[in-house]
Amino acid sequence: MVLYSASSHEAVAQEEYGMSWSEADIPSQAGKLFVITGTGGLGFEDASALVRKGTKVILAGRNPAKGKDSITRIRAETPTADIAFEELDLASLESIGAFAGRLLADGRPIDVLINNAGVAIVQKRQETQDGFELQLGTNYLGHFALTMRLMPLLLSAKAPRVVSLSSTTHKMGKIDFDDLQLEKSYGGSAAYAQSKLAMLMFALELDRRAREAGANLISVAAHPGIARTELMNNGPAGRPVLQFFSHLIERLLGQSSAAGALPTLRAATDPAVQSGEYYGPKGFLEAKGPPELASISAKAQDDAARRRLWEVSARLTGLVPALSTL
């Protein structure tokens, strides 16, 4: 029986998986501030669930019209929603700096940062405004820079969390330090897998550095499995055959965007979550199912590679973390 509206994550859990972790398990988030990147798909679903738990949400994205439309839709379902849109282009260090500057000027502690936004399977190599390969620059380096910029506000919160979105494709990824921007050899799928491996490595390295620094920060990662979101629409433009097969796989093996958001929501709110964990769907190939601990590839657990990636990322983005030991 559906207990809530069709968009409710509790209803999704009831219909798709039976009794399992769902929105109903999220404790009250009243008094907290969540910052979520990405205004559609998973970001929209995250925000929709969280405002129902009483938190304030800043939904950040590059398209003001799309962002404001998402806000309107969320308020139509939850009239009491405390939610605002802020413009943020993760493919621009200047935009990231401006966004962080506005939040720093406001001074309110950030309880949870969800690094969610991304682009996928860009078939022709493109670059961000700063000369980074588009998928690495948007999906990973942009979030690295954003997290570092917002670190003072995170560390001023009582129990801050950073949730970084990875993917099962991280297992196929490779961090090529000799060709990190894939200028010598480019493939859209390989570039996406590299960016998602980098995101998982970042989450694990942030956990390690925070613990060494004695910072009260939880860094976790999550992935949605195969979720029917707008991600593919942000990638293979002009490739109708690829889009057709991608959407076919989503329909046959995947789950709704609301179900895909559950691993992120659990990572962001479950009191039992431990720093350094990784959440995803429990089912076959982690494509769909209730949110549980997910498998981490050996490549993502390579300590030396994670340290090197962090150092390279700090140099590329020109950033020094809020704590010298981070």
128-152 residues labelled b (16+ CB within 10 A) or e (exposed): bebebbbbbbbbbbbbbbbbbbbbb
Name 292's bridge partners.
280
DSSP 38: -
Single-letter residue type at 153 = L
202-239 residues labelled b (16+ CB within 10 A) or e (exposed): bbbbbbbbbeebebebbbbbbbbbbbbbbbbebbbeeb
Active site residue: 4, 140, 186, 192, which one?
A: 192
Q: In the annotation, is 186 catalytic? A: no
**Closest to 50 in 3D by CA, of 163, 199, 178:** 163
Burial of 172 (0-12, 13-18, 19+ CB in 10 A): middle
Q: How far apart are CA 226 and CA 174, in angstroms?
A: 21
Query: Measuring CA to CA, how many Å separate 146 from each of 122, 127, 230, 313?
Result: 22, 18, 22, 12
Q: What is residue 139's DSSP assignment?
A: I
Sheet holding 33-37, edge to edge: 82-87, 56-61, 33-37, 112-115, 161-165, 218-222, 278-281, 291-293
Catalytic positions are 192
